[in-house]
Structures are given as C-alpha cells and as structure tokens.
Amino acid sequence: MFSSPTVRTSLIFTAIAVVGLLFADIAITSANPWKDLGRFFLGVVTPDFFSTEGLATALLRTVAFAFVGVALGSVCGFLLALVYRAYPVRIFCAFIRAIHELFWALIFLQFFGFHPLTGVLAIAIPYAGIFAKVYAEILEEADPEPGRLLPPGTGVISAFLYARIPDCWVQMRTYTAYRLECGLRSSAILGFVGLPTLGFYLESAFSQGHYSEAGAMLILFYVLIATLPLWVKPRLLPVYIIGAPFFLGEGMPIVWGNVARFFTQDIVPGPLKGDEGWSGMGSWLGDLFVTQALPGIWNTVILTQIALVATGIIALLAFPLISTHFGGPVRRTSGHVFLVILRSTPEYILAYILLQLWGPSMLPAVVALALHNGGIIGHLIGRQSSTIILRPDASTGLNRYTYELVPRVYRSFLAFLFYRWEIIMRETAILGILGIYTLGFYVDNAIQNIQFDKAMILILITASLNIGVDILGRFIRRKLALQTMPTC
C-alpha cells in the first residue's frame, strides 16, 4: 500500500504538517474559552433579528456588491478568456487572482476611499482572473467539429457565437452561478475593512459581545446562500444586475487626484522618493525582506501546510455525513445542514469568531480553514460517494467506510485538496489582518502605518507565493493524474 504514489504523497504532506506543528504557535490563550463559546452558541440559538436597523440594509448591500462585482468580473473574465492563449494574459490573470479580495479592497480604499467602486472592484478584479481561466478551459474543451464545418469566409464572431458559445453555455452558466455564491461570501467579508456589507455589522456586534445580534446576521446569511437557487432565476437576472448598482449605498465621492497620487507617489518605494535613489533600494528591500517578508512567509507556509492536512482530515470525517451509504434520511439531512453551514461561513469570519473566543494563536486559523475547506471537500466527495453502487453484500459500518468508499473516492479527494492548496494559502495570508503573524499581518501593519510602498511590495510577495503554490499544486495533480473541477 505504501508503494502507491497517492498514499506516499499523503504521508509526505502529513509528515510536513507534523513537523510544522513543532514550529507553530498553537494554543488556547483565553481563560474561559468554553464559556465564551457557550455564550456565542446561546446567541446563535437566540437570534435577535430586530436589534439593529442596519441588518436588512447590510444584507441588501452584501447582495448588491456580490451581484455587481461578479457581473463585472464575469464580463471582463470572458473577454480575457478569448485571448487567454497569449502568455502575458495568462500571467496577468494568475497575478490578479493571486491577490485576495481583501487586499484589493485595502488598496482601493487608499484612493477611492469609501466609494462603492472600492468594493465592486475588490470583487471584480480577482474574479475576472478566475473567470478568465475557467472560461478559457471550458471554451477549450468545446467540440471543435462544428467550427471546422463552417463555410470558409464565416466571420470570426459569427463562428464563435454559433460553433463555440452554445456548447459551453450551460457549463459557463453553472460556474458563474456558483461563483455568485462565492461572491456573496467575499462581499460579506469586505465589511471587515469598512465597506457597508454584512461583515461591518458582524464585526461591530461581535466585538461588543452582542452575540444574539451576531447570531441573527449569521443565520440570515446562511438562509441567503441556501435559498440562492430559489431567488436567483435566469429570468430575474437582468433585473438584479440592472437594479444592484442602485443598492450599493452612497459612500463618498471619488477624488481623482488621489488616484494619481497613489500611483505616482504613495507606492513608489521610499528610497526612490528621497535622495538615496536606487542605491538605497538594496538595503531598503533587504530590511523589509528580513524583518517582515521572511517571518511572514515562514508563518504563512507553516500555517498553510497544517491547515491543508487538517482540511483533509475534516473532509474525510465529514463526507459520510451526507453519503447515502450511511445513516437514514434524518441523519443525512442534518449532515447536509451542517456542511452547508461549514462551507457558507467564510474562513475569515470563522477565524475571527474563534480568535475572539480562544485568544490569538495559529489554532483558530487552522480550525477555521480546516472547517470551511473540509466542509467544501466533504460535501463534494460525499456527493460523489453517493453515486457509487455497492454490491448487495458489501460490508457495513467502519469496514464499508475504509474498504469500500475511501479507496474509491481517495483520488478525487486528493485532487480537490491540491486544488484548494492555493486557496488555503491565499486565505492564510489574509488571516494575518486578524492578528496572526502571516503575511497579511505585515501588510496590514504597513497600511496602518501609511507605508503603502512597503504594503505593495508585501502584497506582491504574497501573490508570488500563491502563484508558486498554484503551480506546485498543478504539478502534483498532473503527476498523480488527478482531475478536478474548479471550486472556490
């Protein structure tokens, strides 16, 4: 069994995570973590829907930002997908999607300020990068035969509209709808940096210990996501997309001079602005690298590796909850509800909650990342396991789990896990904003100290790290011949 490459890869990654644990800062530092957790759950079961008038507005804004951001992102992503063959375009897309929505928001906040455009672009830009990649893959896979049969002299656009798009349409629509769900999550967490979405109120309610209020917001958010197929109908879509911009809120007017200033002054590295010029760049960069980037990278990588393995464990434990091969309909329904909650809660919110309850260390981040990502992968392979038909006299219970199901789903499980590797790293970096010493912590520091030049360099380093892990993940998936569909 140990000769199988998938098992060997799993063991190597587990070993790395175990070694990482030795270096990681894992602790519960709060004196009464369970009392606080209890109070929080009490708040969730006694939600207070009427405490704040902001709640309905926050939900509406969350939806509006998601719609406008995802719509804009998908249009731009589609256009990019058309020229995705060009190498520079690929690099550009990899780059813009490697930067997390919150980082984009932090960047735009510096010159657009609290204008709706900040939130819209923070979603639209990374999403455009992702859409470009996925749309390009879908278009690539379309049947080439109809295109070959077209009469010579057919216009490029006509050929594309008739021979390409119709074949890809359903897949593109499904993926876009799925992205809308991701967009709702992204939109919600933008509130944590000050945009008027759910996160804004959630953070306020939480930091003041108003758990019933926070509980109400979370519940409404789950309902919003769970009922997505009911209220997002293709026929209503134009109405939503045209209507959404009106519900983004007013914000503050844009002062265009700030935009120019940001690009020509703020992000120009310190030494270049002063007298030192290029000669001072070496020591400036070196200092930044040693004191901030390196510790940030180290912590980000360690946390990512631990969270990756923890995600795998949670996913393997969670998938039987919805698999038709275990338990009755009641168990499965509650399993579904549980997994929907896990995967609808953005890592950032989960980590924020756990950090408040357990005190600061890597532990809340690991648990948050593992629960969210494990919930997603558990859901996907659980669904897949239900399509497996077992022989009538198949073993039951634990034997069924270990002999019949796990071996059959293990390859796609690994495929999803390696696909999400880069996503986990992106999130790990961003969790630094909450006070864990990953790259996001140093980016946030630089921004809080109004040192945008340093912030930009650190964001670029974060993006490169993500791109690196993405390439490595793809390499491993190719090496093990694992195939997967995109998830977010």
Partner 1 sequence: MSGFDLKGLTASFGGERVIGPLSLNVHEGERVALVGRSGAGKSTLISLIHQQVEGIASLVPQNLGLVNALPVFHNVYMGRLDTNATWYNTLTLIRPFAKDTREVKALLTELAMPEKVWIPAASLSGGQRQRVAIARALYRRSGLLLADEPVSALDGPSAHLVMKLLKDRFATSVIALHDVELALAYCTRIVGIQDGHIALDEPSEKLTPADITPLY
Partner 2 sequence: MFRVEVNHVILTGFVKRVRKTLVESHGKKKDIQMVLNLIRKLALTSFLVFVGSATASAQTFVFTAIPDEDETKLVERFRGVAEYLSEQLDADVRYIPVKSYAAAVSAFRNNQVQLAWFGGLSGVQARALVPGSQAIAQGEEDQAFFNYFIAHKSTGLDRADTLTDDLRGMTFTFGSKGSTSGRLIPEYHIRDIFGEAPEEVFERVGFSGNHTRTLRLVESGTYDVGAINYKVWEKELEDGNINTDDVKIIWKTPAYPNYQWSIRGDVDENYGEGFTDRVREALLALDDPELLESFPRSDFVPASNSDYEPIESVAKEIGIID
Report d(CA 86, CA 287) in Å as an integer. 37
150 binds partner 1 (CB under 8 A): yes
Q: Contact at 8 Å (CB) between 226 and 340?
A: yes
CB of 81 to partner 1, least distance (A): 18
Q: Which is nearer to partner 2, 78 or 352 (CB)?
A: 352
Does an H or E element contain 227, and which? Answer: none
Counts of helices then strands in the chain (DSSP H, E): 24, 0
CB of 277 to partner 2, least distance (A): 16
Which does residue 50 bind out of partner 2, partner 1, none, counting CB within 5 to 8 angstroms by kind?
A: none
CB of 292 to partner 2, least distance (A): 12
CB of 57 to partner 2, least distance (A): 7
Which does residue 110 bind out of partner 1, partner 2, none, counting CB within 5 to 8 angstroms by kind?
A: partner 2
Report d(CA 299, CA 92) in Å as an integer. 27
How far are the Cα atoms of 33, 101, 229, 488 from residue 381, in angstroms, in the given order?
33, 27, 21, 15
Report d(CA 196, CA 100) in Å as an integer. 19
Q: Which is nearer to partner 1, 145 or 393 (CB)?
A: 145
Return all residues near 396 (Cβ < 8 A) that are at least 6 apart: none
| DSSP letter assigned to residue 112 | T
Diameter over CA atoms, the chain: 81
- In this structure, the number of other CB atoms found within 10 A of the CB of residue 88 comes to 8
1 binds partner 1 (CB under 8 A): no
145 binds partner 1 (CB under 8 A): yes
Interface mask (CB under 8 A) for partner 1, residues 14-53, using x and -?
----------------------------------------
DSSP 89-145: HHHHHHHHHHS-HHHHHHHHHHHT-S-HHHHHHHHHHHHHHHHHHHHHHHHHHS-SH
Q: Contact at 8 Å (CB) between 416 and 382?
A: no
Q: Which residues bind partner 2 (CB under 8 A)?
A: 29-32, 36, 56-57, 60, 109-111, 113-114, 192-194, 200, 203-204, 207-209, 231, 236, 239, 242-243, 245-250, 252-253, 255, 258, 270, 359-361, 435, 444-445, 447-451
Q: Which is nearer to partner 1, 146 or 435 (CB)?
A: 146
Q: Which is nearer to partner 1, 145 or 250 (CB)?
A: 145
CB of 61 to partner 1, least distance (A): 33
Interface mask (CB under 8 A) for partner 1, residues 170-189, using x and -?
x-------------------
CB of 116 to partner 2, least distance (A): 9
Which does residue 386 bind out of partner 1, partner 2, none, counting CB within 5 to 8 angstroms by kind?
A: none
Q: Contact at 8 Å (CB) between 399 and 467?
A: no
Return all residues near 280 (Cβ < 8 A) that are at least 6 apart: 270, 271, 272, 274
| DSSP letter assigned to residue 164 | I
Residues that bind partner 1 (CB under 8 A): 143, 145-146, 148-155, 157-159, 161-163, 166-167, 169-170
